[in-house]
């Protein structure tokens, strides 16, 4: 439960990060209009051009260590700012992406208040090492505690050997359709090298 709590704490706390820090990787072209490709040593993904990239060297102390990268919308909101992140954990036993995703969703259900699953796709294909693997793509909402706002989350999962990735994008449920589309596109674009 602590693993998912750390990821969800990251989601709910990112809107409080302030200032202009982080850097943008050199822009590659994305298949998506108004998106750029972010490339890390073990993965790549597309993010909106205007979103900030926050790298590990710029993380505050409350960001979980397994966090690989954070992206945040430049349009700030007093309640919650749309954001995305990638976490990577080392597995103690091998599993596939779909089973890992299902176990993470069970933890989400148990750790969020007012949890509501909106949609689930168990046939979503994710690219891992040049191969396609079935995984879980989910849309859900909930909140960490009574004082926090309800957040809508798009999430998918990828397992490559013992490396287990959780790819998350979050926004307010009453956000624009563009926010919802951006979140889906970010998560669906993730590829493991």
Instruction: Report the pLDDT value the prediction gives residue 77, as an integer from 0 to 100.
Output: 84
> Looking at the domain 2-192, which fold is it?
Protein Transport Mog1p; Chain A (3.40.1000)
Pick from 109, 145, 126, 99: nearest CA to 44:
126
Instruction: Report the pLDDT value the prediction gives residue 30, as an integer from 0 to 100.
Output: 58
Q: What is the DSSP string of 90-114?
A: E-SS---HHHHHHHHHHHHHHHSEE
| Whole-number Cα distances in Å, 2 to 14, 31, 66, 91, 131 | 18, 36, 12, 14, 31
Question: Do residues 47 and 186 touch, judged by C-beta distance below 8 A?
Answer: yes
Give the pLDDT confidence of 106-121 residue by residue, as tens digits: 999 999 999 999 999 9
Profile the chain (193 residues) by mean pLDDT over runs of 10 residues: 44 42 42 90 96 94 94 91 97 96 95 96 95 97 94 98 97 94 97 96
∠ CA 144-179-193, nearest 5°, is 85
Burial 174-187 (b: 16+ CB within 10 A, else e): ebeeebbebbebbb
Pick from 91, 79, 72, 93: nearest CA to 168:
72
Chain CA centroid to CA 6, Å = 12
| Whole-number Cα distances in Å, 17 to 49, 50, 74, 153, 162 | 19, 16, 11, 19, 31
Instruction: Report the pLDDT value the prediction gives residue 33, as an integer from 0 to 100.
Output: 87
Hey, how many other C-beta atoms are within 10 angstroms of the C-beta on 119? 9
Instruction: Report the pLDDT value the prediction gives residue 31, as an integer from 0 to 100.
Output: 67
Question: Domain residue spans in the chain?
Answer: 2-192
């Amino acid at each position: 439960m602590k693993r998912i709590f750390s990821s969800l704490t990251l989601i709910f706390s990112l809107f409080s990060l302030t200032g202009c820090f982080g850097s943008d990787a050199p822009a590659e072209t994305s298949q998506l209009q108004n998106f750029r490709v972010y490339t890390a040593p073990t993965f790549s993904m597309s993010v909106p051009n205007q979103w900030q990239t926050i790298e590990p060297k710029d993380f505050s102390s409350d960001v979980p260590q397994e966090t690989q990268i954070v992206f945040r919308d430049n349009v700030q909101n007093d309640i919650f700012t749309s954001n995305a992140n990638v976490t990577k954990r080392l597995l103690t036993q091998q599993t596939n992406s779909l089973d890992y995703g299902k176990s993470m969703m069970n933890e989400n259900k148990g750790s969020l208040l007012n949890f509501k699953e909106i949609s689930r796709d168990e046939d979503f294909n994710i690219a891992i090492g040049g191969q396609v693997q079935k995984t879980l793509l989910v849309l859900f909402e909930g909140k960490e505690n009574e004082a926090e706002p309800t957040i809508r989350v798009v999430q998918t999962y990828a397992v490559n050997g013992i490396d287990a990735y959780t790819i998350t994008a979050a926004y307010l449920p009453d956000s624009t359709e563009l926010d919802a589309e951006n979140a889906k596109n970010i998560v669906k674009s993730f590829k493991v090298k």
